[in-house]
Structure 1
Amino acid sequence: MNVISAIKAYIVKMTSESEPGMKILLMDKETTSVISMVYGQSEIQQKEVFLLERIDSPNFANSTGLRYLKCLVFVRPTQQNITALCNELRNPKYGAYYIYFSNIIAKADIKILAEHDEHEVVKEVQELYMDYLAVNPHLFSIGLSTCFLNLNWNPSALQRTVQGIISVLLSLKKCPVIRYQANSNVCKDLGTRIDEIISKESSLFAFSQSNNSLLLILDRRDDPITPLLNQWTYQAMVHELLTINNNRVNLSDINGIPKELSEVVLSVEQDTFYAKNIFMNYGEIGTNIKELMDQFQAKAKSHQKIESIADMKSFVESYPQFKKLSGNVTKHVTVVGELNTMVNKFNLLDMSEVEQELASQNNDHYSHLQSVKKLLNNEKIRDIDATKLVMLYALRYQNHNNNDLTGLIDLLKRRGITARFLKNIVNIIEYAGSHARQSDLFNVENAVKITKRFIKGLSGVDNVYTQHKPLLHETLEDLVKGRLRDHLYPYLGGHGSGRQQDIIVFIVGGATYEESLTVHSINRNNPNFNILLGGTTVHNSASFLQEVDQATKNVPRKHTRTIRNIQFD
């Protein structure tokens, strides 16, 4: 189950089925993102695609078009797009239209399009199930920044998520049994809606070996710890400190960054160094960057001496690869250099060590409290990091007899922390306090087995700073060993039969790159299983706190009434 391969196969099908010749590719905002996640613009142009246009762009509406070009249309089956297509077919700009919808299209909408095709320019209409973002081969996202409203589904987000998951299932040819987190209404609602569509569209889901796959739906609220932690593997670290948005990282706010590096692309499909290093830890990345630079310098040195026609021919033939290597070196040195600057400037090593102790070590309330207080008095620690530290403490020791959350909030106030940050502490407890969690997130029995390991050089970052394992790790370990309890993760509509080896895990409220690493590791260690991870989005701590804020905006303070010293606007 490789979502990038599934998307790329559909794109090849879409660009090769029409008659030979130059084509225009007409997309909407969301399908543009779908394609750009797996193909660069130069790659898509190699498939005889002359021009990329947006159907929702005013420039397209006002353009004249070229009748000798064929138009490939790839859009979501929304009413807005159907209306735009009808307007286009009334006065066609191009000689032929091949229309591909990213999901199931209603027969009534097909009929409407046919009625507007008075010039008979539509040559084909197909469904190609690409209604999601393929992030890594085993990771997908629906692309929703938030999905909750008053701790329940935002109705439009529920509909979009159902469509996205249905598209994933159809693109991978899976008709799964469904299990969901028992204490979560949002998980059950999502599973029920997906099950209804599978039943309604049974002919589309008539795959062989249909009982061999499982869709497991989980709730982000069961593990609020993972999205709050600083990260130390390449992809996760870049997302936490710099933010990855549809494979793009904006560096324009960094002093001294040249214009060509103001935005860089980090794609496992277009960048072999990135693909090899996304799960490497901070120390290993430094070593591997050095090797990449040595490789580049060796090639550069060999090209300095061009004395003959043969030398020139050899250089020109290798120039595209040379230029690509040069760009990769510059890009990754810049990114890693900025990560290094932020780690040192904001004392992230000290910060992360205390985070990891709170998230992973056995219960030692006094020691943890003193560690948090010490960092709150450190001026180099950012306000957001100080606030997250108190949030972790609040989640860990919410019900502890000697809980000193009030004292920690007072320390934050002395730092001049804004009311918005202070509200995050209340919000996180209302969102995912002990009342909301099904699992024993701070499992003392497991935690005492952890032996604190000290750093041995920079490469040891994967020790003390990566002790934490997401709750998903334990859930998947139980699942592959057949120990996942039915009463905690019931089957929708009864019991499943047999043991499913193709497993799609979907997290309502967003997945993380740390959980993507967990899935990668479990896949590697369990070759008989094939696990795919998805989420409404892929969070870093900033986007997660936005999700929490949105989810609790109008929620009464049922579980934080004892916190008296936070003022609300």
Structure 2
Amino acid sequence: MNVVRAVKQYVIKMTEQSGPGMKILLLDKQTTSIVSMVFTQSEILQKEVYMFENIEISSQCDYENMKHLKCIALLRPTKENIALLCKELKNPKFGSYYIYFTNIIPKADIKTLAEYDEQESVREIEELYADYLPILPHFFSLNIPLCSNGHFWDPTHLIRSSQGLVALLLSLNKNPIIRYQASSEMSKRLAEKVKETITKEEKLFDMRQGDAVPVLLIIDRTCDPITPLLTQWTYQAMVHELLTINNNRVDLSHVTDISSELRQVVLSYEQDDFYSSNLFMNYGEIGQTIKLLMDDFTEKAKSHQKVESIQDMKAFVETYPQFKKMSGTVSKHVALVSELSNIVKHRHLLEVSELEQELACQEQHTVHLSRLRNLLQSGKGRIRDIEAVKLVMLYAIQYEHHSNNDLAGLINILRSNGVAESLVQMPLHVLDYSNEHSKYSSHHDRFSTTQDVMVKKTQRFLKDLKGVENVYTQHQPVLKDILDDLVKGKLKESLFPYLDSHGIGREGVKFFQDVIVFMVGGTTYEECLCVHQMNTSSSSNNVRGIILGGTTVHNSTSFMNQVKSHKI
């Protein structure tokens, strides 16, 4: 299972099916983002695609003498796109049209398009199930920042989420057993919506799957409000937390004295070898790796300065494109790591993160309360208000039921420090958010017995002895515990019931070779790392592969916006 490869193969297919000749690629806003995740513009040019147009803009343009061009349209099957396509086909600007939809299109819409195609310019209409953003081979997003109205699905986003999941299943050729978080009505509604489509489109889902039983597990962000609040220390996660990754792009325009070509940089798993090799490296390691990259580049730069013969000139011409690409890679990642370093230093994130990790992973109320008070009272002007509030939010979650809980006192300190009231209320909001459901596994009820608690605490303590770097990476997402139980066949049916067992007895579905996890309310890069580690670990031998996706990919800022939206 590889979502990047699945989408990339779809794009290759549609560019090749139209045959040789000059082409224009007609996209909508969403499919523009999807294609850009797996192909650069130069790579698309190699497929004889010489123009790119947005369908909304194209419908307003008066093109002339474009009949020599073939139009390849990759669009989401929305009512708006169908209407724009009908307008396009009624007065076609291009010689022929090859139309591809990223999801299931109703037959009635195909009939409507046929009626408008009076000049018979359409050569192909096909469904290519590329209706999601492939970030990494095992990680995808639907790019829906806020999917709910308060505590319930926004109806539009429920439909979009079910469509995205259906497309994902079809692109991977999977007809799964569906399980969902019993305490989450949103998870159940999405599970039912996906199952409804699978039943309706039974021919599309008539797949040979052998003995392997794929499972789609739908869970809710509310089961783990801690993970999105933590400062991250692996490269990809740090960039998203401190700078934000949006459709593989990072905005550095705010950086002082940044060169114009580095104001917007692309971080692509497919096109950036350095990034794909180091995205899970921790903060300390990435600095050393950048130094090695720079040393290598310096050596190559010296060799390019020695052009003394015809043979040297030939070698220079042959290697210059690679050298130029390497130069761009070095500049980009040096700029990123330098800015990360500046932010870590100026926001005192090492000190903040150490306390965050302790609040998330340990139970020492007196010690934590004292340290937190001291940091808040002495930290005004030293740590940002947002970091102070996140620490209090973590305290609120961890010690919600502690007999000596002093959340009110901490909130008063925030107020006395002049923190905005909207932020001061966030610790209370996150409690409402995390208590919205009887959680599968919060910090205090993650394990069902005292023995389980002691075993887990001992394991975590032993892990922390391995090195100082673990001070900042102690935390394990709740998702890790859920997946551990799932792959061992121990995930409780009372907590995660089956929507439909396909007629297979419970004994026949204890182990799954393919697992797709979808998190309603968004996932994180820390959870992405967790799944990557499980995929590469021998302890996950019961599964062939795990894929993780969500309505969005959170950093702490977007997650806090989501928590706030639940109060609306």
In structure 1, the partner of 2:301 is 300
Displacement of 1:546 in angstroms is 1.2
The residue identity in structure 2 corresponding to 1:541 is S
1:476 aligns with 2:483: yes
In structure 1, the partner of 2:324 is 323
Q: Write the mapping of 1:145-156 to structure 2, written as runs, cut at 5 A.
A: 145-156=145-156
In structure 2, the partner of 1:420 is 422
SS in 1 for 2:498: coil
CA distance in structure 1 between the partners assigned to 2:443 and 2:172 by the alignment: 32
In structure 2, the partner of 1:89 is 89
Displacement of 1:59 in angstroms is 7.5
CA distance in structure 1 between the partners assigned to 2:267 and 2:224 by the alignment: 27
Question: Structure 1 69/281 Cα, relative in aligned 2: closer, same or farther at 3 Å?
Answer: same
Displacement of 1:434 in angstroms is 7.8
Partner of residue 386 from structure 1, selected from 385, 388, 396: 388
Q: Is the 8 A contact 1:395 1:434 kept in 2?
A: no
In structure 2, the partner of 1:556 is none
Q: Write the mapping of 1:103-122 to structure 2, written as runs, cut at 5 A.
A: 103-122=103-122
1:522 aligns with 2:518: no
In structure 1, the partner of 2:158 is 158
Question: Structure 1 163/305 Cα, relative in aligned 2: closer, same or farther at 3 Å?
Answer: same
1:160-201: CA deviations, max 9, x gaps?
A: 000000000000000000001111111111101101100000
SS in 2 for 1:140: strand
Q: Is the 8 A contact 2:73 2:97 kept in 1?
A: yes
The residue identity in structure 1 corresponding to 2:178 is I
CA distance in structure 2 between the partners assigned to 1:173 and 1:450 by the alignment: 38
Q: Is the 8 A contact 1:232 1:461 kept in 2?
A: no
Displacement of 1:212 in angstroms is 1.6
SS in 1 for 2:460: coil
CA distance in structure 1 between the partners assigned to 2:464 and 2:260 by the alignment: 41
In structure 1, the partner of 2:449 is none
In structure 1, the partner of 2:450 is none
In structure 2, the partner of 1:506 is 518
1:68-101: CA deviations, max 9, x gaps?
A: 0000000000000000000000111100000000
Displacement of 1:552 in angstroms is 2.1
Q: Which blocks of at least 5 consecutive residues in structure 1 are unaligned? A: 554-569
1:490 aligns with 2:492: no
In structure 2, the partner of 1:201 is 201
Give the count of matched residue pairs: 549
CA distance in structure 2 between the partners assigned to 1:87 and 1:153 by the alignment: 33
Q: Tell which deviates more after alignment, 422-431 or 103-112.
A: 422-431
Q: Is the 8 A contact 2:184 2:437 kept in 1?
A: no
CA distance in structure 1 between the partners assigned to 2:53 and 2:465 by the alignment: 52
In structure 2, the partner of 1:447 is 457
CA distance in structure 1 between the partners assigned to 2:469 and 2:320 by the alignment: 37
In structure 2, the partner of 1:541 is 556
The residue identity in structure 2 corresponding to 1:308 is S
Q: Is the 8 A contact 1:74 1:100 kept in 2?
A: yes
Displacement of 1:424 in angstroms is 1.8
Displacement of 1:19 in angstroms is 2.2
CA distance in structure 2 between the partners assigned to 1:195 and 1:67 by the alignment: 44
Q: Which blocks of at least 5 consecutive residues in structure 2 are unaligned? A: 447-452
Q: Tell which deviates more after alignment, 443-452 or 60-69.
A: 443-452
Question: Structure 1 65/541 Cα, relative in aligned 2: closer, same or farther at 3 Å?
Answer: farther
CA distance in structure 2 between the partners assigned to 1:20 and 1:281 by the alignment: 46
Question: Structure 1 454/483 Cα, relative in aligned 2: closer, same or farther at 3 Å?
Answer: closer
Displacement of 1:258 in angstroms is 1.1
1:6 aligns with 2:11: no
CA distance in structure 2 between the partners assigned to 1:548 and 1:160 by the alignment: 21
CA distance in structure 2 between the partners assigned to 1:488 and 1:294 by the alignment: 53
Percent of aligned positions with the same letter in both sequences?
54
Question: Structure 1 94/434 Cα, relative in aligned 2: closer, same or farther at 3 Å?
Answer: closer
The residue identity in structure 2 corresponding to 1:316 is V
Q: Is the 8 A contact 1:23 1:48 kept in 2?
A: yes
Question: Structure 1 183/57 Cα, relative in aligned 2: closer, same or farther at 3 Å?
Answer: same
In structure 2, the partner of 1:274 is 275
Displacement of 1:119 in angstroms is 0.6
Displacement of 1:479 in angstroms is 1.0
The residue identity in structure 2 corresponding to 1:165 is L
Q: Is the 8 A contact 1:283 1:461 kept in 2?
A: no
Q: CA RMSD in A?
A: 1.6
CA distance in structure 1 between the partners assigned to 2:349 and 2:464 by the alignment: 16
Q: Tell which deviates more after alignment, 208-217 or 141-150.
A: 208-217
In structure 1, the partner of 2:261 is 260
CA distance in structure 1 between the partners assigned to 2:128 and 2:245 by the alignment: 27
* TM norm structure 2: 0.94
The residue identity in structure 2 corresponding to 1:400 is H
